[in-house]
Chains A and B, each alone.
Chain A
C-alpha cells in the first residue's frame, strides 16, 4: 500500500521529545522535592531561632517577675507548651533524606514524601490559624494579668493591638498559603501520587 509507505515515512518525521534519561526524569521531580525540602528546613531553622529567643525572654520574665498572679505564670507556660508543640510539628514535616534511598525503594520514598507534604498542607492550612487563635487567647490572659493595675482603656488598647497584629500575620500567611504554597504542594503531591499509583 503506497499510502501506508508514505504514512511510515511521514510518521518517522514526528518531532522528537527533548533528550532525557531516566535519572533526569526522576531528578526533575526529585529536584522539586529537594528544593521544597531545603525551603522547609530553612524555614524550620528560622522558626527555631525565633522560638528559642522567645523562650529565653519568657524564661527571664518568668523568673524575674516574682509574685505575679496565676494567670501570668499559666499564660507563659501555655505559650511555651504551644510553641514547643508547634516546633515539634514543624520538624516532623521534614523529610530526613538519608534514611531513604529513592532508587532502592521508590514506593517507600513516595509514600514518605506524600505523608510529609500532606502534613505540611495540614500544618499551614489548618494548624497555623489555630495556633494564632490560641496565641491570641494566651496573650489575652497574659495582658489581663500584666496590665491589671493600668487603666482599662490601656488594657483594651493592648488587646486590640495584639489582635490586630495577629490578624495581620494570619491574613498574610493565609494569602501566601492559598496563592503560592498550596498549589505548589498539591502539584508535588499529585506527581508523587502518580508515581506511587503506577508502582502499586
Chain B
C-alpha cells in the first residue's frame, strides 16, 4: 500500500461513519445519499494530494463533505428543506433486531432523521456537526465563520429541531 492509500485508509477508518451520518442529514433519498457518500469519498481520494498539512485532517474531511453535499444538492435541486411528511417510508433502516430497546432506538432515530430533514440545509449541517460532538471552534473552522456566529446559529437550529421533533 503506498503512502496515499495508507493515509486514505486511515481517514476512512476514522471518518467514514461520521461522513455517512452527515450525508444522512443532508440527503433523504437513500440512493442519492449513497451517491453523495461515494462522491465525498471520491473527492477525498482525489484531493488527498492537495491536502495541506497545516490544517487539521478532521476539518479538511468535514469541509470536503460539506462542500460536496452542498454542490450535490445544488445540482440535483432536491433534498432542500421539506415541510410535511413527503418522505420515503423505507429508508433502509429496517429493524433486524427484535429486542425492544433496539427497536425503540431505531424508531427514535427515524424520528430524529425525519425532523432533521425538515430543517433548512444550513441547519441540517450544523445539527449534524453538533451530533458528531464537534466543538464550536471546529465547526467555525469548517464553515469559515466565527465561533460566536456558530453559537447563535446552533441555538436557533437546536430550537427548531426540538420544535419539529416534538411536533412529529
Contacts and interface: CB of A to CB of B under 8 A. Distances in A.
B149 to A, nearest CB: 20
A100 to B, nearest CB: 15
B92 A198 contact: no
B131 A7 contact: yes
Contacts of A3: 162, 165
Contacts of A199: 46
Main DSSP-derived SS at the A contact region: helix
Nearest to A18: B34
A195 B42 CA distance: 9
Interface string B134-168: 00000000000000000000000010001001000
Given A16-B17, A23-B5, A10 B108 contact: yes
A20 B38 contact: yes
A6 interface: yes
Contacts of A26: 42, 45
Given A10-B109, A22-B46, A194-B75, 9 more contacts: A4-B130, A11-B132, A15-B92, A15-B93, A21-B9, A22-B8, A25-B41, A106-B46, A195-B42
Interface of A: 1, 3-4, 6-17, 19-23, 25-26, 28, 106, 194-195, 197-199
Interface of B: 5, 8-9, 12, 16-17, 20-21, 23-24, 34, 37-39, 41-46, 48, 68, 71, 75, 92-93, 105-106, 108-109, 112-113, 130-133, 158, 162, 165
